[in-house]
Amino acid sequence: MTYPEQVKSFLWSDIYEMAKSPGRFAKNPDADFSRKRKLDFENLMRFLIVMESGSTGHEILKYFDYGPNVLSNSAFYQQRKKLLLYAFQHLLFQFNSHFPFEKYKGKYQLVACDGSEFNIA
């Protein structure tokens, strides 16, 4: 397995583990992601990560391989609305835990090098 494949495997396994208890990452833990949907918690997280710069409708078509059982844009927005921001924070920290941490110049933690801002609440 190549290094990029290993990294992707870590990401998908972290999402799979999160999907075992989706209530932790839902606005309404008792109801959200409790029913079987075309876009369940695991696929929603994967979809949000693999989306590119196309329109939502086109990205949905690509994700579902242009098949006949494609969900509507509205269904996607409704599912996305159920997610807590904490889901992405948890995924980021869980994913990063797979890689050894090394401080830059012995004392700095490099978070981003593209001008992004990173705030921990």
Helices (H), 1-121: 3-19, 41-50, 56-63, 73-81, 86-96
Over the range 68-97, which residues count as b (16 or more CB within 10 Å of their CB) and which as e?
eebbeeeebeebeebbeeebeeebeebeee
Look over the chain and give the mean of its residue pLDDT values, rounded to a whole number: 84
pTM metric for this prediction: 0.77
Task: Please state the rounded mean pLDDT for residues 9-13.
Answer: 92
User: Is the model's pLDDT at 109 over the cut of 90?
Assistant: no
Q: What is the mean pLDDT of residues 106-118?
A: 60
pLDDT digits (tens, 9 = 90+) for 24-74: 998 888 888 888 888 889 999 999 988 888 899 999 999 888 888 888 889
| CA pair distance 89, 118, nearest whole angstrom | 11
In the predicted structure, residue 17 carries a pLDDT above the cut 90: yes
Residue with tokens 């606005």: 27
- pLDDT more than 70, % of the chain: 88
- State the pLDDT at residue 112: 52
Question: Distance between CA 73 and CA 81 in Å, rounded?
Answer: 12
What span, in angstroms and rounded, lies between the C-alpha atoms of 99 and 42?
Answer: 22
Residue 115 has pLDDT above 70, yes or no: no
Instruction: Provide the pLDDT confidence category of residue 120 given band limits of 50, 70 and 90.
Output: low
Q: How far apart are CA 26 and CA 31, in angstroms?
A: 9
